[in-house]
């Protein structure tokens, strides 16, 4: 059993948050960071005390000084970058959304099995202790009739976009629509708890850049339904909820899951939350390392099947909303 896992990282935006969280995981060791710009690579390495930095991704993939890589690049590059590292025998923790579409996800998963490396989606919400509290307390709700999740925030870059500046946040070439960027936080917990839906009905607001600014999605299950409301072009303050015949479970924020209460029909209220640190990415990293240390090549929480079910559902949502990326091919 290895005591530490040596990591390299790709990207500097969300990766900055990831590395702050990693400080709380003693089994994590930072071996190198990557940024395409020399000055940014030097600055980022100094900030996080990385012993080495790279500006050439192929050079870093070929280096034997680390065991695993965390990829926090834009979604459009997930497939290409993950494939490169897998084929160099590196374990890969790949930021959400896993890939731009399900075809890419299937190929990466098959490749990881071929090269016998661990490949896991860095979906933090389904790794939270409070997510497991939700799962383990569902029986208290009686027959479940609806899952409702809302996640929306007016992007800090939306005013610049409306002024005619093509910012990364709404760039079609980076696959930065609202469902891939934010909607996964609503969708992944639903599928993890209740499985892949039977039917999907999706509507959305497509921006001039070709990405979805917001989406409304309805899901059909055998005896229940689901609703996801996602937006990057407005603020929303609605909590999320799982509704049963005997009680309803209210979640303050579907991405963070800091407050969870069960409201019973007889008027009682029960809090089922447990404490979670501010840096929620701690749990995905702990699970990734634990999986490696146990000699397994697939997480029992963020499974390959969960990732595929989410990506296939996202593909259908985008098809109905009318968002298509170049990498989607003829589908």
Q: What CATH number is attached to the domain comprising 61?
A: 3.40.50.720
The whole-number average pLDDT for the span 227-245 is 97
263 and 137 in a common domain: yes
In a domain, 314, yes or no: no
236 and 163 in a common domain: yes
Q: What CATH number is attached to the domain comprising 259?
A: 3.30.360.10
d(CA 156, CA 158): 6
131 and 244 in a common domain: yes
Instruction: Specify which residues 220 forms β-bridges with.
Output: 199, 225
Backbone φ/ψ region at 117: left (φ over 0), alpha (ψ -120 to 50), beta = beta
Residue 213: predicted pLDDT: 97
14 and 31 in a common domain: yes
pLDDT at 330 > cutoff 70 = no
Which is nearest to 149 in space by CA: 254, 255, 219? 254
Residue at a domain's end among 124, 142, 161:
124
pTM: 0.96
Which is nearest to 93 in space by CA: 70, 110, 116? 70
144 and 208 in a common domain: yes
d(CA 63, CA 150): 42
Residue at a domain's end among 77, 105, 124:
124
In a domain, 261, yes or no: yes
d(CA 294, CA 289): 9
| pLDDT band with cut points at 50, 70 and 90 for residue 277 | confident
pLDDT at 13 > cutoff 80 = yes
> Which tens digit of pLDDT belongs to each residue from 132-190?
999 999 999 999 999 999 999 999 999 999 999 999 999 999 998 999 999 999 999 99
Residue 240: predicted pLDDT: 98
In a domain, 178, yes or no: yes
When divided into structural domains, the chain yields a total of 2
In a domain, 101, yes or no: yes
> Which tens digit of pLDDT belongs to each residue from 70-94?
999 999 999 999 999 999 999 999 9
131 and 118 in a common domain: no
d(CA 206, CA 318): 10
Q: Which tokens sit at 105? A: 């996800």
In a domain, 258, yes or no: yes
229 and 204 in a common domain: yes
Within the chain, residue ranges assigned H as helices are 14-22, 38-47, 57-62, 78-86, 102-115, 129-137, 158-162, 178, 184-194, 282-293, 304-321
d(CA 135, CA 138): 6
Residue at a domain's end among 124, 148, 164:
124
d(CA 281, CA 285): 6
139 and 248 in a common domain: yes
d(CA 57, CA 274): 40
Residue 3: predicted pLDDT: 82
In a domain, 324, yes or no: no
Which is nearest to 134 in space by CA: 270, 266, 229, 302? 270
164 and 96 in a common domain: no
Which residues span the domain enclosing 170? 126-280
Q: How distant is the alpha carbon of residue 189 from its chain centre?
A: 10
| pLDDT band with cut points at 50, 70 and 90 for residue 331 | low
In a domain, 149, yes or no: yes
d(CA 22, CA 78): 21
133 and 120 in a common domain: no
Please state whether the peptide bond connecting residue 211 to the residue before it is cis, i.e. omega within 30 degrees of 0: no
150 and 40 in a common domain: no
Q: How distant is the alpha carbon of residue 163 from its chain centre?
A: 29
Strand 212-220 with 199-206, pairing: antiparallel
Torsion angle of C-alpha atoms 289, 62, 51, 71, degrees rounded to 10: -50
In a domain, 287, yes or no: no
Contact 212, 206 (CB under 8 A): yes
104 and 91 in a common domain: yes
Contact 12, 44 (CB under 8 A): yes
């Amino acid at each position: 059993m290895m005591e530490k896992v040596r990591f390299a990282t790709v990207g500097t935006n969300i990766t900055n948050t990831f590395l702050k969280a990693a400080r709380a995981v003693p089994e994590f060791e930072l071996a190198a960071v990557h940024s395409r710009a020399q000055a940014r690579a030097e600055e980022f390495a100094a900030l996080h005390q990385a012993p080495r930095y790279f500006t050439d991704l192929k050079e870093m993939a070929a280096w034997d000084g680390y065991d695993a890589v965390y990829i926090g690049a834009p979604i459009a590059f997930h497939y290409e970058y993950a494939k490169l590292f897998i084929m160099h025998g590196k374990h890969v923790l790949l930021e959400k959304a896993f890939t731009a579409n399900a075809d890419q996800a299937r190929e990466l998963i098959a490749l990881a099995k071929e090269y016998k490396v661990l490949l896991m989606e860095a979906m933090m919400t389904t790794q939270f202790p409070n997510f497991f509290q939700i799962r383990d307390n569902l029986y208290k709700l009686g027959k479940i009739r609806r899952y409702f999740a809302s996640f929306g925030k007016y992007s800090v870059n939306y005013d610049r976009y409306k002024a005619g500046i093509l910012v990364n946040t709404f760039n079609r070439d980076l696959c930065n629509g609202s469902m891939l960027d934010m909607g996964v936080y609503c969708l992944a917990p639903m599928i993890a708890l209740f499985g892949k839906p039977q039917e999907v009905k999706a509507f959305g607001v497509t921006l001039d850049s070709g990405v979805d600014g917001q989406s409304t999605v309805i899901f059909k299950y055998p005896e229940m339904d689901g609703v996801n409301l996602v937006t990057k072009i407005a603020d929303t303050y609605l909590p999320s909820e799982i509704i049963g015949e005997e009680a309803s479970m209210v979640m303050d924020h579907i991405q963070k899951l800091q407050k969870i209460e069960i409201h019973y029909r007889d008027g009682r209220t029960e809090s089922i939350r447990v404490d979670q640190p501010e840096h929620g990415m701690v749990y995905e990293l702990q699970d990734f390392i634990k999986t490696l240390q146990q000699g397994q090549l697939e997480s029992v929480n963020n499974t390959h099947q969960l990732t595929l079910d989410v990506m296939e559902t996202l593909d259908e949502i985008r098809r109905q909303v009318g968002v298509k990326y170049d990498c989607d091919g003829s589908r």
